[in-house]
Amino acid sequence: MRIYGIVLAAGQGKRMKSKLYKVLHPVCGKPMVGHVVDLLDRLACEKRIVVVGHGAEKVKAYLGDRTDYALQEQQLGTGHAVLQAKDLLASEEGLTFVLYGDTPLIREESLREMIRLVEQESAAGAVLTAEMDVPFGYGRILRDGEGNLAGIVEEKDCTPEQAAIREINTGIYCFDNRKLFAALAQVTNENAQREYYLTDVIAILRGAGEALLAYKTPDWTEAIGVNDRVALSEAEAVMKQRINRMHMLNGVSIQDPASTYIEADVVIGSDTRLLPGTVLRGATVIGEDCVIGPNADITDSRVENGATVKHSVLLEAEVGPEAAVGPFAYLRPGAKLGEKVKVGDFVEIKNATLGAGSKVSHLSYVGDAIVGKNVNMGCGSITVNYDGFNKHKTEIGDDAFVGSNVNLVAPVTIGKGAFVVAGSTITRDVEEDALAVARERQVNKPGYAAKLRSRLKNRKKEEDE
């Protein structure tokens, strides 16, 4: 059967009280509408149409050419919104899912089960329902004497008896495509909100003698519709748990799931251990056998097998196999650490490549640099890469030794195997295997300290008198 998908995302989301359009609010790092469109991708839909209105340009900019769009200029209700997809879809034959852009927790299994049931029963469609202890704000499911789906009534239109029903409409439906558009033509706005409700399609189709199914999900959390920030935080909590669980089932150890935050698209290899306070964001990829945390904040970065990252912040960085980062390191965009590189405490690396086995163990800044293999950058050594106008490059050859507290004033090149003496300020290139000293020679004056002390003491005495 051909599958189509319509996602409603035209509402403003007034109840969010936000400058950001509702469906663009992220849940586990991904805008809600992104989660919903991902799901349609997994169902291999023939066509996906997102109905946009409020913030149309922003929603389109985010989703790009992943989907087609229909514009709903005035938000006259969910039924009216679906109708905007008519020109793009009405002539197709198949099963059309209608999903709301503010229900990010829908599970693929439920959609597949709906397809299976519709096929098995030759029904005109199905609605995903859920049993909720607090059904507040949702449409209620009406069933007839035989328990069949009879209709959906919006909360604002409920009689007190209907309001007591705890089975709710998740806002996740599939319909025979042609029957859907035929029924939509008959929807009116005679209700409390003067809106054209998609939910009225159920009673209309049933009135025409069509069979419609209500499939009750075993997991009510997937029904959470995010209308305000309270629901947003609930959705975040559910999604976080699902993501953590998925990684644990894939062989990742998470010592304290409560304090571990993994965004939706992060990839983690097996036998990696995540320690408390780990936050993994964006397109981050972590290899196998890594130890991440405690307290690691890693965004859009790649960490290879066997590496460790503790108490550190990484942004658009690459950490090679078995490299060790932290505690208290900051890897900024373009930091690329080779195999077994060590970056220790209070070290910042930006736009710099460090070859295999190199060490920057303490208190350093390495920016705009290419550092070879097995280089030792001593404590406090830094690249002086910025003159207030331009950034300049530092190159350090393999096996070079840069002593403590060395300033490498870029542009500058340190040759392979060179040795830069501690405390030097290097302004000229150092050739291969050379020793560079660039500091004042030391002078010792015997007995001078005692003399100086007594002079200072006498002066103080005179002043005090």
Q: How far is the CB of 87 from ligand UD1 (least distance, A)?
A: 16
Residue nearest to Ca ion (CB): 225
Q: How far is the CB of 196 from ligand UD1 (least distance, A)?
A: 8
Name the residue nearer to Ca ion (CB basis): 23 or 286: 23
Name the residue nearer to Ca ion (CB basis): 26 or 417: 26
Name the residue nearer to ligand UD1 (CB basis): 129 or 308: 129
Q: CA 52, CA 23: separation in Å to the nearest integer?
A: 10
Number of residues interacting with Ca ion: please give it, by CB under 5 A. Answer: 3
Single out the segment in contact with Ca ion by CB under 5 A; choices: 42-50, 54-62, 97-105, 120-128.
Answer: 97-105
Q: How far is the CB of 224 from ligand UD1 (least distance, A)?
A: 8
Single out the segment in contact with Ca ion by CB under 5 A; choices: 161-169, 220-228, 262-270, 318-326.
Answer: 220-228
Q: Which does 72 bind (CB under 5 to 8 A by kind): ligand UD1, Ca ion, none?
A: ligand UD1
Contact residues for 253 (Cβ-Cβ < 8 A; gap 6+): 271, 272, 273, 274
Name the residue nearer to ligand UD1 (CB basis): 158 or 285: 158
Q: Which does 197 bind (CB under 5 to 8 A by kind): Ca ion, ligand UD1, none?
A: ligand UD1
Name the residue nearer to ligand UD1 (CB basis): 78 or 96: 78
Q: How far is the CB of 121 from ligand UD1 (least distance, A)?
A: 22
- What residue ranges bind ligand UD1 (CB under 6 A)? 8-11, 23, 51, 53, 72, 75-78, 80-81, 100-103, 138-139, 152, 154, 168-171, 197-199, 225, 227
Does residue 225 touch Ca ion according to CB under 5 A?
Answer: yes
Name the residue nearer to ligand UD1 (CB basis): 10 or 235: 10
Q: How far is the CB of 203 from ligand UD1 (least distance, A)?
A: 12
Q: Is 362 a catalytic residue?
A: yes
Site string for Ca ion, 99-128 (x = CB under 5 A): ---x--------------------------
One of 54, 311, 362, 392 is an active-site residue; which one?
362
Q: How far is the CB of 8 from ligand UD1 (least distance, A)?
A: 3
Binding residues for Ca ion, rule: CB under 5 A, are 102, 225, 227
Residues classed as catalytic: 362
